[in-house]
Structure 1
Amino acid sequence: MILVRHEIGEVLRDLRQQKGRTLRQVASRASVALGYLSEVERGQKEASSEILASVAEALDVPISTIMREVSDRLSVLEGITSFPDVVPDELVAMATPELSLR
């Protein structure tokens, strides 16, 4: 069974290690208990959107980057080999209304 929390945990751990930060540093900066963040990274606990946002900020990474990586990993696990790598025009227009006036 594929669990999203496992992939989220792996992505968070990978990003933290890529940035050379300890679990303690990220937990402190995100105002999250060290033990809880450890459980999230190991896929044992579900992180709320608020916790994910705090950890993303502590890692100086947009939450969209985290979710994109999770999505890509899930696609691979599900055996999906081709998926679009573009943001739909409707979402771009919603995010940047000034561009939709052109």
Structure 2
Amino acid sequence: MILVRQEIGEVLRDFRQQKGHTLRQVAGRASVALGYLSEVERGQKEASSEILASVAEALDVPISLVMRQVSDRISVLEGLQTFPDVVPDDLVAEVGPELSLR
């Protein structure tokens, strides 16, 4: 069974380690308890969207990139051969074509 919380934890840990930050540093910057963040990284706790946003900000990583990495990991686990890369037209219109992700 694929658990989204485990994939989120793996992605957050990967970003943290890539940036050379300790768990304590990120927890402090995100104003999240160290033990709680550790549990999130190990896939033992579900993080709210607010916590995810705080941790992503503490890592200086856009939340969209975190979620994209999670989505890509799940696609691989589900055995998909291709990754859909679609941004809804209404979102593109809202943020403007110069900020388009296409």
1:97 offset after TM fit, Å? 7.9
Tell me what 2:77 maps to.
Answer: 77
Report Cα offsets for 1:21-71 as digits up to 9, x if no partner: 000000000000000000000000000000000000000000000000000
The percent identity for this pair of structures is: 85
Segments of structure 1 that go 5 or more residues without pairing to the other structure are: none
- Asked if 1 retains the 8 angstrom alpha-carbon contact of 2:53 and 2:63, the reply is yes
Pairs aligned (count): 99
TM-score, length basis structure 2: 0.90
The answer to whether structure 1 residue 11 and structure 2 residue 11 are counterparts is: yes
Tell me what 1:30 maps to.
Answer: 30
Please identify the structure whose Cα radius of gyration is greater.
Answer: 1
Q: Secondary structure at the match of 2:84?
A: coil
Equivalent-residue separation in structure 2 for 1:85 and 1:98 (angstroms): 17
TM-score, length basis structure 1: 0.90
Equivalent-residue separation in structure 2 for 1:98 and 1:74 (angstroms): 29
Give the AA of the match of 2:36.
Y
Segments of structure 2 that go 5 or more residues without pairing to the other structure are: none
